[in-house]
Amino acid sequence: MSAPDSTMRPTEPERYELREVTLRLDGNGTTRREFIKTLGGGLVVVLVTKSAFAWGRPGAGDAAVSETEEPPEEIGAWLHIGEDGAVTVYTGKVEFGQGIRTSLAQELAEELHVPLSSVTLVMGDTDLTPFDMGTFGSRSTPQMGTQLRKVGAAARELLLGLAAERWQVNRATLIAKDGQIVGAKGKSLSYGALTDGRPLTEVVREDVALTPADEWVVAGTSEPRVNERALVTGTHRYPSDMVLPDMLYGKVLRPTSIGATLGQVDTSATEALPGVTVHHDGDFVGVAAPNTFAAEQALETIQAIWKRAPGPEPSSDDIYEYLRKTPRPQTSGFHEGGFIERPHVVGDVAAALASADHRVTRTYNVAYIAHVPLEPRAALAQWTDEHDGPKLTVWTGTQRPFAVQEQLATAFGMPKERVRVIVPDTGAGYGGKHTGECAVEAARLAKAAGKPVTVRWTREEEFRWAYFRPAGVIDVDAGISRDGKITAWAFDNYNSGSAAIRPMYAIPNQRIEFHPSESPLRQGSYRGLAATANHFAREMHVDELAHTIGMDPVAFRLKNLDDDRLAAVFKSAAEKFGWGDKVPDGHGVGIGGGFEKGGYVATAVEVAVDRARGGVKLVRAVTAFDCGAIVNPDGLRHQIEGALIQGIGGALFEAIDFAHAVITNAHLAEYRVPRFSDVPPIEVVLVNRKDQPSFGAGETPIMGLAPAVGAAIFDAVGVRVATLPMARGGIDLSKAQTPVGNG
């Protein structure tokens, strides 16, 4: 590296010196401006972006923004390049096993032109990272990935400009490479050295050109996890591993039934225990003790009488009837399963159904299921006295750190900048950790005890007091012509949710409606939201339509699709699977797929049905998936395989049982999750569309499996199982029809 010519510095001081960053900082402004100053020497680049709620949809570009109104500006991302060349990127996204700590770093490194090893991500820390809605909806790749690419590209351009000014050369003669600016005759200077140890801050906007995917060098490759060694040596600290000096272990007294309120409580025996803090406030009773065992023992000494909640207590046996008959008065806004929309109507469904050559009507049911992240909810809370008042810091595994920050601020009646939420890389969530109840519990106990307190839920607490994927009922009424065109489609979804509720098939007459219900159980997001339920009903029904006229289910789909990318994944999956090949007696094959959140999926499976007991076993599965330009192929395969395997549980045997406002299978011995013996050989076909923007893959690959399995069960034994899970305790073979086999 050649030294810079001293006669050519300094560069424009007014342009690059630290200046006040006036931005919408979401209540943490002071903290963040101070924080940026504390970074000291080096370059800070802040990306300001239009507020983009970029839900993946076909044709959506980098920022799916309404064109009719000007969206507010917000901070998309920021990064710091230290004097030593270390790049630190700050993002409000969190790592829950999906691999974004690696893939986002790849995207940043790609545009900034630095080695991946020089990039560190600071994630999910409300004091340090830009506001973020949360890590859900498969938005990390299309939205955050794009923002990081932009901030990386903008930073690279700034550095090129800085070098051009310093060397007084045309910037077009310079290139940025491996963390250095390289000029003519081998002259070069590292990014860090370019800042001369001065604190520089620059605000950039998002109108910056990005590198096309077919020119990617770092992105687009199967980089292993950046922190993989910590993961196999047990040194990574998950939320439930966090400790502080003098920390106590908290436990919370739980009601005897859902919604029960505390009648009487006697904690006198508990309070007499040495080293135990008891906190009672309203319906909250909790203890903090020197270890978990002591806390559990203390909890058992509490005498409490709970009052049952009034109202109906439907059970898992009559839930579907209940959901259909118990509408929720709300007619618009956000529902756990998605946005509530007006009925979607095209053409005249009633007339088209009446005049259809064939009409098929069926009701599908979907059970409540639990996420069962292997790490149950956990939080560590610490109250400290700062010069300007009390501050609460909570380490917890939540997919929505900024929402939990607000939840804590509300719970304790304090401004949210007095609350800091930090999310260590967490032991999974799958949509099940959007909330901060555990964080609030830990903070209450820590306040009462005057010491840091950790609350780590048990598996049973996770089953009883977290939330579930909504149960639902879906009525489908469809008409087809004898040559295999779907002519009418009526689809009524009760409570499952609206995600992917509209068919991807070209159907001239449609009426689609989501009807929210009163749910007796706490419900919320789950991998794919309602897309799994809606695809199950839709694709099962499409399979039945195909069989009604004796048409091959793949050919039938291709005839009714007008989306080339979706048709392509169906063709790819069918080809890789060997669709049409003979399978053994008692086996069946099926296919299902669809589109959601920017991803196109088709899954083909072979199942074996045990005719004596009705047991169903997956023999093999093939999934073809297209989510645009692939950022990390191996990471993508991981997400697809993982979604398929997780989907086996919901398809075949996972269901929450409940009666009299009590979950009756709140243990892993009673709630079956997929295990090694359930997992078939899986083949994944990646369709890499480098000409298309990159979308996420955490959710959509789960959607095709259940309907494919349902179709395969029908193919094997002639039974249409219309309830998820399909084979808990075996399927009822007494209802077998003669299948029109395609296997």
Partner 1 sequence: MKMTLEVNGTRHEIDVDPARSLLGVLREELGLTGTKYGCGESECGACTVLLGGRAVHSCVTPVASAAGTPVTTIEGLPKDGVLHPVQQAFLNEGAFQCAYCTPGMIMRAVALLAETPAPSEQQVKDGLEGNVCRCGTHPRVIAAVQRAATLSANGGHG
* HEC assignment per residue over 547-614: HHCCCCHHHHHHHHECCHHHHHHHHHHHHHHCCCCCCCCCEEEEEEEEEECCEEEEEEEEEEECCCCC
Task: Please give the residues from 664 up to 703 whose contact with partner 1 meets the rule CB under 8 A.
Answer: 667-669, 673-677, 679, 681-682
Minimum distance, C-beta of residue 424 to partner 1, in the bound complex (Å) = 11
Task: Please give the residues from 147 up to 206 whose contact with partner 1 meets the rule CB under 8 A.
Answer: none
- Check binding of 373 to partner 1 (CB under 8 A): yes
Nearer to partner 1, 236 or 690 (CB): 236
Stretch that binds partner 1, among 213-221, 285-293, 531-539, 612-620 (CB under 8 A): 285-293
Nearer to partner 1, 520 or 524 (CB): 524
- Check binding of 642 to partner 1 (CB under 8 A): yes
Give me the amino acid identity at 245: P
Q: Strands of 188-190's sheet, edge to edge?
A: 175-177, 180-182, 188-190
The verdict on whether omega for the bond into residue 10 sits within 30 degrees of 0, i.e. cis, is: yes
Minimum distance, C-beta of residue 301 to partner 1, in the bound complex (Å) = 15
Nearer to partner 1, 236 or 571 (CB): 236
Minimum distance, C-beta of residue 649 to partner 1, in the bound complex (Å) = 9
SS3 assignment, position 37:
helix
Stretch that binds partner 1, among 75-83, 124-132, 327-335, 643-651 (CB under 8 A): 643-651
User: CA–CA separation, 26 vs 3, rounded Å?
Assistant: 42
Stretch that binds partner 1, among 151-159, 268-276, 455-463, 608-616 (CB under 8 A): 455-463
Q: Which of 188, 426, 487, 510 binds partner 1 (CB under 8 A)?
A: 426
Task: Identify the bridge partners of residue 119 per DSSP, sorted by sequence position.
Answer: 87
Nearer to partner 1, 247 or 583 (CB): 247
Minimum distance, C-beta of residue 98 to partner 1, in the bound complex (Å) = 7
Tell me the per-residue interface mask from 233 to 252 with partner 1, x by CB under 8 A, - otherwise. xxxxxx-xx-x-----x---
Q: Tokens standing for 529?
A: 């939201």
Stretch that binds partner 1, among 55-63, 81-89, 173-181, 222-230 (CB under 8 A): 222-230
Minimum distance, C-beta of residue 256 to partner 1, in the bound complex (Å) = 20
Nearest to 614 by CA among 528, 733, 501, 436: 733
- Check binding of 332 to partner 1 (CB under 8 A): no
Nearer to partner 1, 390 or 681 (CB): 681
Nearer to partner 1, 243 or 351 (CB): 243
**C-alpha pair distances (Å), 74 with each of 31, 48, 739:** 17, 6, 57
Nearer to partner 1, 316 or 646 (CB): 646
Minimum distance, C-beta of residue 516 to partner 1, in the bound complex (Å) = 28
Nearest to 154 by CA among 113, 212, 119: 113
DSSP 523: B
Nearer to partner 1, 32 or 225 (CB): 225
Minimum distance, C-beta of residue 242 to partner 1, in the bound complex (Å) = 9
Stretch that binds partner 1, among 159-167, 316-324, 458-466, 497-505 (CB under 8 A): 458-466
Task: Identify the bridge partners of residue 407 per DSSP, sorted by sequence position.
Answer: none
Q: 137 with 143: CB under 8 angstroms?
A: no
Nearer to partner 1, 249 or 402 (CB): 249
The total of other beta-carbon atoms located within 10 Å of residue 269's CB is 13
Burial of residue 736 (number of CB atoms within 10 Å: 0-12, 13-18, 19+): middle
- Check binding of 377 to partner 1 (CB under 8 A): no
Size of the site for partner 1 (CB under 8 A): 58
Nearer to partner 1, 225 or 720 (CB): 225
User: CA–CA separation, 102 vs 118, rounded Å?
Assistant: 12
SS3 assignment, position 501:
coil
Give φ, ψ of 514 to 5 degrees.
Answer: -110, 125
User: CA–CA separation, 233 vs 241, rounded Å?
Assistant: 14
Minimum distance, C-beta of residue 183 to partner 1, in the bound complex (Å) = 39
Task: Please give the residues from 87 up to 116 whose contact with partner 1 meets the rule CB under 8 A.
Answer: 96-99
Residue 201 host element (H or E): strand 199-205
Q: Which of 37, 57, 229, 613 binds partner 1 (CB under 8 A)?
A: 229
Give φ, ψ of 571 to 5 degrees.
Answer: -65, -45
Q: 539 with 364: CB under 8 angstroms?
A: no
Stretch that binds partner 1, among 130-138, 286-294, 570-578, 703-711 (CB under 8 A): 286-294
- Check binding of 117 to partner 1 (CB under 8 A): no
457-495 exposure pattern, b = at least 16 Cβ within 10 A, e = fewer: bbeebbbbbbbbbbbbbbbbbbbbeeebbbbbbbbbbbb
Minimum distance, C-beta of residue 700 to partner 1, in the bound complex (Å) = 15
Minimum distance, C-beta of residue 104 to partner 1, in the bound complex (Å) = 16
Nearer to partner 1, 237 or 660 (CB): 237
Q: Strands of 42-50's sheet, edge to edge?
A: 119-123, 87-91, 73-81, 42-50, 199-205
Stretch that binds partner 1, among 208-216, 259-267, 291-299, 495-503 (CB under 8 A): 291-299
**CB pairs under 8 A, 24+ apart, for 163-169?**
163/189, 163/194, 165/8, 165/11, 165/12, 166/4, 166/5, 166/8, 166/9, 166/11, 166/194, 167/4, 167/5, 167/8, 168/8
Nearer to partner 1, 542 or 643 (CB): 643
Please give the residue ranges that form the binding site for partner 1 (CB under 8 A): 96-99, 224-225, 228-229, 231-238, 240-241, 243, 249, 291-294, 371-376, 425-428, 430, 456, 458-460, 634, 638, 641-646, 667-669, 673-677, 679, 681-682
